[in-house]
């Protein structure tokens, strides 16, 4: 057929923050399109600094497994391997794979065994988008953000992996200098100008 245009809607990229407890929120439009609700079990695969979330196959068996006490966020694949009928060690070593659950409001906790593999840190800004593999979550935005106030303007690395903006660095230096001057005065020494 000629003259017929088919447009595929462009998938949005969402930005969320990795909060304390290693949590972030999967946006509502993505959860709705994929049919993920509170309690849905997701497969999580680590690929460098990126995590890929997808549906867990065999969901009826997984639903039975999640009804038992003691299951929760970050349940490793080695404990759920019987559901997929494969060896847990094969999954963990070759694919860095785990499972997790969608919590209230779409919150997801990054499985403990995948945290080191991603290299993420609390406060990291994450890009969330759908692609052919599933829902990809990867770091975005510059990491050079002031540790004290969160600003991205005039930020520099004062010691390895510690970034401060000029204003916060100035506050720290002036308070440190004030402490030094007070110590010198108490000791009866002359303070250099």
162, 129: one domain: no
Q: Find the largest Cα–Cα distance for the chain.
A: 93
Q: What average pLDDT score do residues 32-61 get?
A: 85
146, 135: one domain: no
155, 101: one domain: no
Determine, yes or no, domain membership for 59.
yes
133, 78: one domain: yes
Which phi and psi (to 5°) does residue 4 adopt? -100, 125
Determine, yes or no, domain membership for 45.
yes
Q: Each residue of 90-101: pLDDT tens digit?
A: 334 445 899 999
33, 119: one domain: yes
111, 69: one domain: yes
Domain that holds residue 31: 14-139
- For tokens 């829902």, what's the residue? 135
Residue 106 belongs to domain with CATH number: 3.40.1550.20
Q: What average pLDDT score do residues 109-128 get?
A: 89
174, 85: one domain: no
Cα 42 from Cα 54, distance rounded (Å): 6
Nearest-5° Cα angle at 29, 33 to 46:
75
Determine, yes or no, domain membership for 126.
yes
130, 102: one domain: yes
- pLDDT for position 128: 96
Could you tell me the CA-to-CA distances from 158 to 10, 29, 51, 108, 178 in Å, in that order?
Answer: 41, 40, 30, 33, 20
Determine, yes or no, domain membership for 3.
no
Question: Of 116, 139, 162, at which residue does a domain stop?
Answer: 139
Number of domains in the chain: 2
165, 93: one domain: no
Determine, yes or no, domain membership for 6.
no
Determine, yes or no, domain membership for 8.
no
Comparing CA positions, the residue from 33, 100, 52 lying closest to residue 73 is 100
pTM greater than the 0.95 cutoff: no
Determine, yes or no, domain membership for 100.
yes
Cα 111 from Cα 90, distance rounded (Å): 18
Q: Each residue of 120-167: pLDDT tens digit?
A: 888 888 999 998 889 999 998 766 778 888 777 888 888 888 888 889
147, 131: one domain: no
């Amino acid at each position: 057929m000629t003259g017929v245009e088919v447009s595929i809607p462009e998938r949005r990229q969402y930005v969320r923050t990795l909060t304390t407890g290693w949590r972030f929120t999967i946006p509502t439009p993505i959860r709705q399109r994929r049919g993920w609700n509170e309690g849905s079990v997701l497969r999580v695969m680590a690929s460098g600094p990126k995590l890929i979330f997808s549906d867990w196959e065999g969901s009826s068996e997984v639903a039975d497994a999640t009804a038992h006490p003691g299951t929760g966020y970050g349940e490793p694949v080695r404990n759920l391997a019987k559901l997929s009928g494969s060896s847990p060690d094969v999954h963990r070593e070759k694919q860095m794979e785990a499972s997790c659950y969608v919590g209230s409001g779409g919150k997801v906790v990054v499985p403990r065994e995948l945290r080191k593999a991603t290299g993420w840190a609390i406060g990291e800004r994450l890009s969330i988008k759908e692609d052919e593999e599933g829902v990809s979550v990867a770091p975005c935005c510059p990491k050079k953000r002031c540790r004290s106030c969160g600003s991205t303007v005039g930020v520099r690395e004062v010691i390895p992996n510690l970034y401060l903006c000029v204003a916060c660095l100035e506050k720290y230096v002036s308070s440190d200098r004030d402490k030094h001057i007070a110590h010198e005065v108490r000791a009866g020494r002359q303070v250099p100008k």
